[in-house]
């Protein structure tokens, strides 16, 4: 047992089942020090709390507020911006055990749940009622609804179905000082007062702790079909995306792999991927007539210059096409293993206007060459959101320096094209400086004012998003 | 010319074309004193300004800020909550002449425009590029984009396509002190910082003046077909809405007329409406196969007990079906004309969870009987947003009192069913007290803090939404 600091002794008094809730062993502290963002600062928490009820969260927040101890909320720590990283001496407040699905309401296409519910579990549960919760971040088998809301998570199908923010109707919150607050509504529409719900989405635990959410649902998605098209040039792939958009198609996935990523997946043995392609598009359609719509998109790809076009005729073939996208992570892992030293992946998250996609990818390739690095770019072409991934040996000081330079160069190039430094991963600690470059100074001043309004003592996840 | 107050003399010095911009004649002042909300307080402005540029807006705001004069932004004054009502001695700042469409960008499905663009004109302009801007408030032939954003406007097709808020990507603003600010982005996705864009949507001109907007667009909507179903009981209509939802249908309109409204439209001569129905549903589908989907919905209506079901087989017949919805206003006008005195319509805007729709409509009928009034309820059944309309003789003091009582009773009933006091019309001056009843007190305190953060002198449309 750790020394009885005022914080711990107060919490032990307040929480009847404190042995279950409060953890101070070094392993737990170390395991909860950071999320999945590399190179981001992280400290060592004084305690990791696993409350099971909103009332326990209230006690924890009020105690920390009175003692002036910072609190860092955490979900599944799958975030990629350091937003869930601990601060020395803080309380890490994990909502992982608040994982009840409270109410599935098919008549109103709503679900109420606690923040610790894993995204895939939520989707499986509502599917039994013929409903779906579309947002599908890559980590959806592990990440939680609370973390999705806090980071404003995206995913693959949001090109058609929207992001997490589009599904949050209302929130149940605990403020920095321990007060409870509800925002939003149970109705499909509503404009009563300023939209605090939306303000909280993407606020990375800096304004309040999410202890419950009311989420909108959609009818279950129709069966989808998929296709794959490979192009001899990046420009040709960009042209295909533009003509698919211009023709009014709304695919449920429109993913793009650059030359390096296409090659890595082909090398990893995917049978539909041919070597030597400059870019690959993976397209999924779940319209009422996916075969017809895919045929039309396949034609547009060919007209743009695609050489290898594979259109799935059924579910199993579609699964194989989509497998090419899923293989990216293991394929990059296999490449990393060839590097020696301490191989690391630095995942970017820049979004540009869709029309600038090909130009942006060309610039990324130039940045990779200039810095003598391997950059694998894949991303959500349909909404211009790319994840260029620098894979390098962290133990090589010079390579580390070049990786950081490339990371910054890529972000600068994205902003110069009218883009944003984060499409769906968030600011956290990793992109605070970039936020100050991206935002209008007046807007930044108001953002800081918002932080002070919600958290006047600057105790809730301090140092994330904006400095108070 | 009006007396040379410090306000007017300063504005005349700053604005080179002041004779064009500044209007102080009594007719203009009177014409711009209020929006379309009945019974809402309104004062007389000192001047009505019609700036043509953001720079002129800046001059006006800075001057008003220095002199401590309140400013009330106005669009087309079609609002129904008094949010655009003048305050004695204020500057009314009309954005009606800032009406340029700046850029239509089909590749990124975006449009940039000034706030004074009329909603229908924007939709017509983007339609030439195969695109659509779906939000369709009833006043869309007159209302402006700036007003739509300021009020968070809805419409008929938002049951499928979402409300104004869902289309606003970025805003160009002038703050209370005259500083410019940009929020949002040009990209489809983005999570850089707190979502100020969404905070501004629906803020009724209390946080900043909108001088420009970047709006997302969709592909042009496919041709739609419509149907109409009449029911012997409200419960049967409610059951039909529930089973349409449960079956996974997503109609592009799902409108409901109660007994009084159905009868008024039938009396007004609509050939498809039969007398004596307790409720009418008007349904539109613009899926890839609207005929098939309408046939399925028609069957569900019949199973729920519908007696008169008319399914259009083509565009002209669909137009006739939709005409039943459009006839509501003239039919109510015809009824009002029979009242004598000063006939007035009081339009409510309560949203309840969809599952409570039939119960809510039954309660409204009881409230009408109890208060000896005619209440015509129509609304967006698909998202539970009803517009019960009390039509009465304003010159009859007792009837006026009963109309106000009914208005309050309807709102209280909606809130008791888990609803909201405003689905799409806003708070304005009309529902400020209801907002304090609807919102959590902690939320209300933060709402007031937000107002003070953006407008510390309380000069921007003071008294609307929340008291500072």
Per residue in A175-195, pLDDT (tens digit) is 999 999 999 999 989 999 999
CA distance A363 to A370: 10
Residues B258, B238: Cα–Cα separation, whole Å:
11
DSSP string over A240-254: HHHHHHHTT---SEE
**Tokens describing residue A206:** 């800096």
CB B172 within 8 A of CB B180: yes
Q: Which of B219, B382, B450 sits opposite A250 (nearest CB)?
A: B219
A191, A304, A379, A381: best to mutate for the B interface, most B CBs within 10 A = A191
Given a cut of 90, is residue B263 above it in pLDDT?
A: yes
pLDDT of residue A38: 82
Q: With beta carbons less than 8 A apart as the criterion, state whether B237 and B365 touch.
A: no
pLDDT at position B1 is 47
Name all contacts of A103-108 with Cβ < 8 Å and 24+ positions apart: A104/A129, A104/A131, A105/B353, A105/B355, A106/A130, A106/A131, A106/B245, A106/B246, A107/B242, A107/B245, A107/B246, A107/B353, A107/B354, A107/B355, A108/A186, A108/A188, A108/B353, A108/B354, A108/B355, A108/B384
For domain B330-416, the question of CATH label 3.30.70.2740 is answered with: yes
Mean pLDDT of chain A: 95
Mean pLDDT of B147-168: 96
| Record: contact B353-A466, CB cut-off 8 A | no
Residue B282: per-residue pLDDT: 98
Rounded Cα gap, residues A148 and A95, in angstroms: 12
Cα–Cα distance for residue pair B166/B198, rounded to 1 Å: 9
**Beta-strand runs (E) in A308-461:** 308-311, 343-347, 350-351, 374-380, 385-393
Residue B354, C-beta contacts closer than 8 angstroms, at least 6 positions apart: A107, A108, A109, A188, B241, B242, B245, B381, B382, B383, B384
> A105 - beta bridge partners?
A110
Task: Return the number of other C-beta atoms located less than 10 Å from residue A261's C-beta.
Answer: 28
Chain-chain contact of B446 with A419 (C-beta, under 8 angstroms) = no
Q: Do A181 and B443 touch (CB under 8 A)?
A: yes
Contact at CB, B245 and A152, closer than 8 angstroms: no
Q: Please report, in angstroms and rounded to a whole number, the separation of the first and last CA atoms in chain A.
A: 34
Q: Give me the pLDDT at residue B60, please.
A: 98
**Which residues have a Cβ under 8 Å from the Cβ of B139 and sit 6 or more positions away?**
B36, B76, B78
The answer to whether residues B364 and B346 touch, using CB atoms and an 8 Å cutoff, is no
Map chain B to HEC letters.
CCCCCHHHHHHHHHCCCHHHHEECCHHHHHHCCCCCCCCCCCCCCCEEECCCCHHHHHHHHHHHHHHCCCEEEECCCCCCCCCCCCCCCCEEEECCCCCCEEEEEHHHCEEEECCCCEHHHHHHHHHCCCEECCCCCCCCCCCEHHHHHHHCCCCCCHHHHCCHHHHEEEEEEECCCCCEEEEECCCCCCCCCCCHHHHHCCCCCCCCEEEEEEEECEECCCCCEEEEEEECCHHHHHHHHHHHHHCCCCCCEEEEEEHHHHHHHHHCCCCCCCCCCCEEEEEEECCCCHHHHHHHHHHHHHHCCCCEEEECCCHHHHHHHHHHHHCHHHHHHHHHHCCCCCEEEEECCEECCHHHHHHHHHHHHHHHHHCCCEEEEEEEHHHCEEEEEEEEECCCHHHHHHHHHHHHHHHHHHHHCCCECCCCCCCCCCCHHHHHHHCCHHHHHHHHHHHHHHCCCCCECCCCCCCC
Query: DSSP of A256-282, one letter per residue?
Result: EEEHHHHHHHHHTT-TTPPTT-SEEEE
Whether B219 and A184 have beta carbons less than 8 Å apart is answered as: no
Give the pLDDT of residue B4: 78
> How close, in Å, is residue A25 to chain B by CA atoms?
34
Which of B142, B81, B42 minimizes the C-alpha distance to B349?
A: B81
State the average pLDDT over residues B233-241.
94
Element at A74 (helix H, strand E): strand A71-74
pLDDT at A2: 55
From CA A109, how far away is CA B382, in angstroms rounded?
Answer: 11
Torsion sign over Cα B409, B413, B416, B419: negative
Burial A224-249 (b: 16+ CB within 10 A, else e): bbbbbbbbebbbbbbbbbbbbbbebb
* Helical segments of A97-233, H only: 119-127, 145-151, 158-161, 196-200
pLDDT tens per residue across span A64-110: 999 999 999 999 999 999 999 999 999 999 999 999 999 999 999 99
Smallest CA-to-CA distance from A221 within A131, A294, A289 is with A131
The predicted structure's pLDDT at residue A468 = 76
Residue B369: pLDDT over 80: yes
- What local confidence, expressed as pLDDT, does residue A3 receive? 63
Contact status, residue A83 vs residue A184, Cβ threshold 8 Å: no
Q: Is residue B259 pLDDT above 70, yes or no?
A: yes
What is the ipTM for the molecules in this complex? 0.95
Q: Which fold has domain B6-94?
A: 3.30.43
Fold of B225-327: Alpha-Beta Plaits (3.30.70)
When pLDDT is cut at 50, 70 and 90, the band that residue B2 belongs to is low
Per-residue model confidence (pLDDT) at position A16: 87
Which residues on chain B are in Cβ contact (under 8 Å) with A468? none
Cα separation, B220 vs B171, in Å, equals 24
Closest approach of A2 to chain B, Cα-based (Å): 36
Q: What integer pLDDT is reported at residue B3 of this predicted model? A: 63
Identify which of B312, B336, B339 has the alpha carbon closest to the alpha carbon of residue B323. B312
Q: Of all residues in chain A, what percent carry a pLDDT higher than 70?
A: 99
CA dihedral B350, B351, B352, B355 (to 10 degrees): 130
CB-CB under 8 Å, B439 with A351: no
CA distance A412 to chain B (A): 14
Cross-chain residue pair B450–A194, CB shorter than 8 Å: yes
* Residue B57 reports pLDDT greater than 60: yes
From chain B, the residues in CB contact with A289 under 8 A are 288
CB contacts, 8 Å: A351 with chain B: 185, 187-190
Locate the domains of chain A by residue range: 6-94, 101-219, 225-329
Q: Give dist(CA A256, CA A379) in Å, integer.
A: 5
Where do we find the tokens 């998109």? A297
Interchain pair A187, B384: CB under 8 A = yes
Shortest Cα–Cα distance, B170 to chain A (Å): 12
Rounded CA gap, B432 and B467, in Å?
A: 8
Q: What is the mean pLDDT of residues B227-243?
A: 95
**Contact between chains at A195 and B207 (C-beta distance less than 8 A):** no
Site of tokens 């709402």: B447
Beta bridge partners of B351: B385, B420
Beta bridge mates, B383 = none
Tokens 């010159």 sit at which residue?
B395
Residue A467 has a pLDDT of 83
* Band of residue A261 on the pLDDT scale cut at 50, 70, 90: very high
Confidence of residue B434 (pLDDT cuts 50, 70, 90): very high
Burial degree of A465 (CB within 10 A; 0-12, 13-18, 19+):
buried
Distance from CA of A47 to the nearest CA of B (A): 28
CA distance B303 to A21: 53
Nearest-angstrom CA–CA distance, B380 and B153? 13
CA distance B13 to chain A (A): 27
pLDDT, mean of residues B243-260: 94
Q: Of A44, A139, A142, A47, which is closest to residue A94 (Cα–Cα)? A: A47
DSSP secondary structure code for residue A335 in this structure: H
- Which residues, including other chains, have CB under 8 Å from residue B435's CB and lie 6 or more apart? A192, A193, B421, B427, B444, B465, B466
Count of C-beta atoms within a 10 Å radius of residue B271: 10
Residue B174 confidence (pLDDT) above 70: yes
Place of tokens 């519908």: B306
CATH architecture type of domain B101-219: 2-Layer Sandwich (3.30)
Give me the mean pLDDT over the B342-359 stretch.
Answer: 92
| Closest-CA residue to A145 (of A207, A217, A82, A91) | A217
Distance CA A194, CA B194 (A): 14
Q: Tens digits of per-residue pLDDT, B277-304?
A: 999 999 999 998 999 999 999 999 999 9
CA A273/CA A254 separation, integer angstroms: 17
User: Rounded to a whole number, what is the distance in Å from the CA of B132 to chain A's nearest CA?
Assistant: 11
Cβ-defined contact of B107 to A419 (cutoff 8 Å): no
At B209, give phi and psi (nearest 5°). Answer: -100, 130
- Using 50, 70 and 90 to split pLDDT, how confident is the model at B246? confident
Domains B225-327 and B330-416 share a fold: yes
Predicted local confidence at residue A1, as pLDDT: 47
Judge whether residue A362 has pLDDT over 50.
yes
- Cβ neighbours of B167 in A, within 8 Å: none
The CATH fold assigned to A225-329 is Alpha-Beta Plaits (3.30.70)
Q: What percent of chain B has pLDDT over 90?
A: 94
- Does the distance separating the beta carbons of B351 and A189 come in below 8 Å? yes
pLDDT surpasses 90 at A206: yes
To probe the interface with A, which of B164, B189, B255, B415 has the most A CB atoms within 10 Å?
Answer: B189
pLDDT above 90 for A283: yes
Q: What is the pLDDT of residues A289-338, one digit of tens each?
A: 999 999 999 999 999 999 999 999 999 999 999 999 999 999 999 999 99
Whether A420 sits inside 8 A of B105 (CB atoms) is no
**Distance separating alpha carbons of residues A75 and A432, to the nearest angstrom:** 21
Q: Do A422 and B190 touch (CB under 8 A)?
A: yes
Nearest 10 degrees: Cα torsion B317, B322, B325, B326: -100
Q: Tell me how far CA of residue B2 lies from CA of B6, B25, B88, in angstroms.
A: 12, 8, 16
Partnered with residue A47 across adjacent β-strands are A91
Q: What is the Cα B458 distance to its own chain's centre?
A: 25
């Amino acid at each position: 047992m750790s020394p009885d600091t005022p914080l711990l002794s107060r919490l032990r008094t307040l929480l009847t089942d404190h042995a279950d809730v409060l953890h101070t062993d070094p392993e737990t502290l170390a395991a909860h020090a950071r999320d999945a963002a590399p190179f981001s600062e992280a400290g060592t928490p004084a305690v990791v709390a696993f409350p099971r009820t909103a009332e326990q969260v209230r006690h924890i927040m009020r105690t920390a507020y009175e003692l002036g101890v910072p609190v860092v909320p955490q979900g599944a720590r799958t975030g990629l911006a350091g937003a869930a990283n601990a601060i020395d001496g803080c309380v890490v407040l994990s909502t992982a055990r608040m994982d009840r699905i409270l109410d599935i309401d098919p008549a109103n296409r709503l679900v109420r749940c606690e923040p610790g519910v894993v995204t895939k579990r939520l989707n499986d549960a509502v599917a039994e009622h013929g409903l779906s919760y579309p947002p599908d971040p890559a980590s959806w088998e592990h990440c939680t609804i609370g973390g999705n809301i806090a980071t404003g998570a995206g995913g693959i199908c949001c090109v058609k179905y929207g992001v997490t923010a589009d599904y949050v109707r209302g929130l149940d919150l605990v403020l920095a000082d321990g007060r409870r607050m509800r925002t939003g509504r149970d109705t499909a529409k509503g404009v009563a007062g300023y939209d605090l719900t939306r303000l909280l989405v993407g606020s990375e635990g800096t304004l309040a702790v999410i202890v419950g959410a009311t989420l909108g649902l959609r009818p279950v998605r129709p069966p989808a079909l998929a296709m794959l098209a490979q192009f001899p040039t990046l420009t040709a792939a960009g042209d295909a995306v533009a003509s698919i958009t211009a023709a009014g198609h709304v695919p449920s996935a429109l993913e793009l792999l650059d030359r390096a990523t296409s090659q890595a997946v082909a090398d990893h043995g995917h049978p539909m991927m041919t070597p030597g392609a400059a870019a690959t598009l993976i397209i999924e359609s779940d319209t009422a007539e996916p075969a017809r719509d895919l045929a039309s998109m396949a034609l547009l790809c060919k007209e743009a210059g695609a050489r290898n076009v594979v259109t799935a005729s059924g579910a199993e073939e579609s699964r194989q096409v989509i497998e090419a996208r899923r293989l990216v992570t293991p394929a990059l892992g296999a490449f990393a293993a060839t590097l020696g030293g301490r191989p690391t992946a630095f995942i970017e998250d820049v979004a540009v206007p869709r029309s600038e996609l090909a130009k942006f990818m060309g610039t990324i390739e130039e940045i990779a060459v200039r810095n003598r690095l391997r950059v694998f770019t894949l991303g959500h072409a349909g909404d211009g959101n790319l994840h260029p991934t620098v894979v390098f040996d962290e133990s090589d000081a010079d390579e580390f320096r070049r990786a950081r330079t490339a990371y910054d160069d890529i972000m600068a190039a994205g902003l110069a094209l009218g883009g944003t430094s984060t499409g769906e991963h968030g600011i956290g600690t990793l992109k605070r400086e970039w936020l100050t470059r991206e935002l209008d100074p007046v807007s930044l001043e108001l953002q800081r004012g918002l932080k002070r309004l919600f958290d006047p003592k600057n105790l809730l996840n301090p140092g994330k998003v904006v400095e108070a």
